[in-house]
Amino acid sequence: MNLDPKIPSGPLEDKWKQHLKDVKLVSPNNKRKYSVIVVGTGLAGASAAASLAELGYNVKTFCIQDSARRAHSIAAQGGINAAKNYQNDGDSVWRLFYDTIKGGDYRSREANVYRLAENSNHIIDQAVAQGVPFGREYGGLLDNRSFGGAQVSRTFYSRGQTGQQLLLGAYQAMMKEVHSGKIQNYPRQEMLDLVVVDGKARGIITRNLVSGEIQKWYADAVVLCTGGYGNVFYLSTNAKNSNVTAAWRCHKRGAAFANPCFVQIHPTCIPVSGEYQSKLTLMSESLRNDGRVWVPKAKGDKRKPNDIPEDERYYFLEERYPSFGNLVPRDVASRNAKLVTDDGLGVGETGLAVYLDFRDAIKREGKDVIQAKYGNLFDMYENIADENPYETPMKIFPAVHYTMGGLWVDYNLMSNIPGLFVAGEANFSDHGANRLGASALMQGLSDGYFIIPYTVGNYLADNEFSKVSTDHEAFKEAAETSSKQLDKLLSIQGDKTIIEFHRELGKIMWDKVGISRSKEGLESAISQIRKLREEFWQNVRVPGEAGYYNKYLEYALRLVDYFELAELMALDAIDRNESCGCHLRDEYQSEEGEAIRNDDDYAYVAAWEYLGVNGKLETKLHKEPLEFEFVEMKQRSYK
């Protein structure tokens, strides 16, 4: 397996500029001869599709939702970072780069991250020109806020709906090209396989979710923008339809999967209220600026929070991290919430929650001030949890939020299968072992608007393409494989539902491949996953038929891939004998419970090759060493 990252040589600041000078171009009248498939229409997909179409390529877009506008990028709340330095607080491309690579705990590529920071400014220009209504100051210029503990104010925002506004901008740009005829848009289509001909990605197989028909599509390049895999945990802040299937099927066709164990768990979500819970809702982490996190000191204390006197409260973040207190980074806050609940100190009916208390902030600043800052968040909390956070502390708990891992890509965002490009959360590239707040939107749009259009062109110009039609053997084989799998799922007719299996898988993952992991736990997770997967293929009940709209069949199909991915995540977590970013191994922490990174042995990207599933997942690890020429690797400390 060739995992050459193809990073251009030269100074960090010049790598991308030089690369742009070096990429091959396709002449305008040749562009219309090429076709590109874009799968997924979130920030990365919609922006890539629009930009490629503007250049003159024939683009086909596919998404599982009923409209391209509904991709899960739409739910991003906080904002998008850019190194504009509008606030004159000393921000620069270098600082944004440095914060991002440090925040990722030195498990990402310097060159990729630097390019991301460079592109950040273009994204803001592009979005504003499209009519994205960012927050503005009285003078009419763009406003910024500080986010996620950053020392500069570099976050652009549209109230709490930045993802929505940026996605609508990209979606509208895409619809403009649908209008011009350069994009053929296919909603309600799920990618089931990648078609590889002569070693190149030449098309995809989809299931038309309305008619149930298996369809074949060919192209000269495929751009995968299908998001993350957080739903392997069953409960996450991801949308219900977010899934790993498209990426996983590419993996099965030979694309390496990188750093699958890097999963970000967000500390401030509304806790689970019962078995029926279908998803988790994120509360902005800005709440920790004023809220104090605590649990009762006594186990099983069933008193109402306001009846528990001050000296019987355990403000565990403030006590353990006196200098950062409640503002420790996401991973530290999440981990500590788990520690106290593991000790039996958790609150609420399930015992899986901690308090986030605004009593002191309200006393100090007055209810009006707190309401002005967090009013909409408090309302949202009250609507869901049915408790008034002005009067009684919020209950929060960590939840799976974002996956840094994904398909391996080189500097051109091309996987190790020529012609298969991967952008946005679906690739592994820029966030290392931990993503900073307001960086996901930035990466999706940087990939889609400002990288893919050049690098896809370079690939097309650089290669010869034989004429391929969907009658090719490879298309038939892939379509049949997909069809057979559907039939098999429908034929089992067991007596456990899909959700029961998914819930069980999620519990194994959360308990053993979640906030903290141990070798022992991971090994037992692997055997549990295998057992459950076995049982799934014997005993699942998938309703209905394949020939019409059947959401539970879609669901079952996605679960099939989660079962395999889950095992890979555990394997990856076992392999990584260190704690870094969101990956905390119990064995590798200091006596005070701080993560210990091992740069000598683990400063690499773990890229996994799929070999097959035979009771167990057969896989092979390849390592892409990470070299740090421009920054010094430092240990994080928040004490």
Partner 1 sequence: MSDMTINLKIWRQKNSTDSGRFEDYLLPGVNEHMSFLEMLDVLNEKLMKEGGDPVEFDHDCREGICGSCNMVINGRAHGPKHQTAACQLHMRNYNDGDTIVIEPPRAAAFPVIKDLVVDRSALDRIIEAGGYISVKTGAAPEANLIPVPQEVSNQAFDYATCIGCGACVAACPNSSASLFTGAKLSHLNSLPQGQPERDKRSIAMVNQMEKEGFGDCSNYAECEAVCPVGISISAIAQMRRDYMKAVF
> Residue 270: helix, strand or coil by DSSP?
coil
Taking CB under 8 A as the criterion, the residue among 26, 38, 74, 225 binding partner 1 is: 74
Question: 161, 78 in Cβ contact below 8 A?
Answer: no
Q: Which is nearer to partner 1, 179 or 302 (CB)?
A: 179
Tell me which of 7, 18, 94, 135 binds partner 1, using CB under 8 A. 135
608 contacts 260 by C-beta, under 8 angstroms = yes
Any contact of residue 122 with partner 1 (CB under 8 A)?
yes
Binder to partner 1 among 136, 303, 488, 623 (CB under 8 A)? 136
The window from 27-35, 162-170, 200-208, 596-604 that contacts partner 1 (CB under 8 A) reads 162-170
- Using CB under 8 A as the binding rule, whether residue 158 contacts partner 1 is answered as yes
Residue in 17, 176, 476, 636 binding partner 1, rule: CB under 8 A: 176
How many CB atoms neighbour CB 24 within 10 A? 12
575 HSE (CA, 13 A, CB side)? 23
541 belongs to the binding site for partner 1 (CB under 8 A): yes
Q: Verify binding: residue 352, partner 1, rule CB under 8 A.
A: no
Nearer to partner 1, 8 or 160 (CB): 160
By the 8 A CB rule, do 403 and 425 touch? yes
Q: Determine which residue in the list 159, 297, 363, 634 makes contact with partner 1, applying CB under 8 A.
A: 159
**Given the rule CB under 8 A, which of 269-277, 389-397, 413-421, 462-470 is the region that contacts partner 1?**
269-277
Concatenate the DSSP letters of all residues of 581-603 into one string.
TTB-BTTSB-TTS-B---HHHH-
The residue written with tokens 């929505």 in the block is: 164
Is 552 among the residues that bind partner 1 (CB under 8 A)?
yes
The tokens 């010049």 sit on which residue? 14
CB of 342 to partner 1, least distance (A): 24
Interaction between residue 168 and partner 1 (CB under 8 A): yes
39 belongs to the binding site for partner 1 (CB under 8 A): no
- Closest contact distance (angstroms) between CB of 355 and partner 1 is 18
Measured at the alpha carbon of residue 595, what is the angle toward residues 589 and 596, in degrees to the nearest 5?
75
- The answer to whether the beta carbons of residues 76 and 404 sit under 8 Å apart is no
Tell which residue, 365, 448, 457, 410, has the closest CA to residue 36: 457
Q: Are 17 and 144 contacting, i.e. CB atoms less than 8 angstroms apart? A: no
Determine the Cα angle at 116 with ends 111 and 122, to 5°.
135
Of 115, 330, 558, 576, which residue is the catalytic one?
A: 330
Residue 181 sits in the site that holds partner 1 (CB under 8 A): no
For partner 1, which residue of 66, 319, 360, 487 counts as binding (CB under 8 A)? 66
- Count the residues in the chain: 639
Window of 59-67, 88-96, 289-297, 516-524 that interacts with partner 1 by CB under 8 A: 59-67
450 interacts with partner 1 by CB under 8 A = yes
Edge-to-edge strands, sheet with 354-357: 263-269, 394-403, 354-357, 292-296, 313-314
Q: Does 456 bind partner 1 (CB under 8 A)?
A: no
Per CB under 8 A, the list member of 9, 90, 141, 612 interacting with partner 1 is 141
* Cα–Cα distance measured from residue 174 to residue 47, given in angstroms and rounded to the nearest whole number: 7
Dihedral sign for Cα 389, 390, 393, 396, please: positive
| Interaction of residue 146 with partner 1, rule CB under 8 A | no
Report, in Å, the least distance between residue 240 CB and partner 1: 6
User: What are the Cα distances from residue 330, in Å, to 67, 266, 352, 585, 629?
Assistant: 33, 6, 17, 16, 28
From the CB of 561, what's the least distance to partner 1, in Å?
Answer: 18
Size of the residue set binding partner 1 (CB under 8 A): 81
131 part of the interface to partner 1, by CB under 8 A: yes
CA distances from 451 to 21, 183, 549 (A): 13, 19, 36
Least distance to partner 1, CB of residue 279, Å: 5
Closest contact distance (angstroms) between CB of 29 and partner 1 is 18
Does position 185 bind partner 1 by CB under 8 A? yes
The answer to whether 314 touches 299, Cβ cutoff 8 Å, is: no
Task: Determine the interface stretch with partner 1 among 426-434, 550-558, 564-572, 607-615 (rule: CB under 8 A).
Answer: 550-558
Distances in Å between the alpha carbon of 352 and those of 123, 271, 341, 359, 380?
39, 7, 6, 21, 20
Min dist CB 55 to partner 1, Å, is: 9
What's the closest the beta carbon of residue 554 comes to partner 1, in angstroms? 11
Q: Which long-range contacts (CB under 8 A, 24 or more apart) does 93-98 make?
A: 93/13, 93/117, 93/118, 93/120, 93/121, 95/152, 96/120, 96/154, 97/12, 98/631
Residues from 205 through 224 that contact partner 1 (CB under 8 A): 210
Q: How far is the CB of 622 from partner 1 (least distance, A)?
A: 34
Stretch that binds partner 1, among 111-119, 160-168, 200-208, 593-601 (CB under 8 A): 160-168
What residues from 367 to 386 belong to the interface with partner 1 (CB under 8 A)?
A: 383-386
Q: Is 89 one of the binding residues for partner 1 (CB under 8 A)? A: no
134 binds partner 1 (CB under 8 A): yes
**CA–CA separation, 539 and 7 (whole Å):** 48
502 binds partner 1 (CB under 8 A): no
DSSP, collapsed to helix, strand or coil, labels residue 235 as coil
Residues 6 or more apart whose Cβ sits within 8 Å of residue 526: 567, 570, 571, 574, 616
Q: Where would I find the H helices in 431-512? A: 440-445, 452-462, 473-492, 498-512
50 binds partner 1 (CB under 8 A): yes
From residue 608, alpha-carbon distances to 59, 140, 194, 620 in Å are: 30, 49, 18, 6
For the window 299-338, what string marks contact with partner 1 as x by the rule CB under 8 A? Answer: ----------------------------------------
Residue written as tokens 């098999």? 488
Does 273 bind partner 1 (CB under 8 A)? Our answer is yes
Tell me whether residue 330 is one of the annotated catalytic residues.
yes
Positions in 569-628 near partner 1 (CB under 8 A): none
Which of these ranges, 112-120, 166-174, 323-331, 511-519, lies near partner 1 under the rule CB under 8 A?
A: 166-174
Q: Find the binder of partner 1 among 21, 22, 179, 615 (CB under 8 A).
A: 179
Cα 338 to Cα 147, 265, 288: the distances in Å are: 24, 11, 17
Whichever of 176 and 616 has its CB closer to partner 1, that residue is: 176
Catalytically active residues are: 330
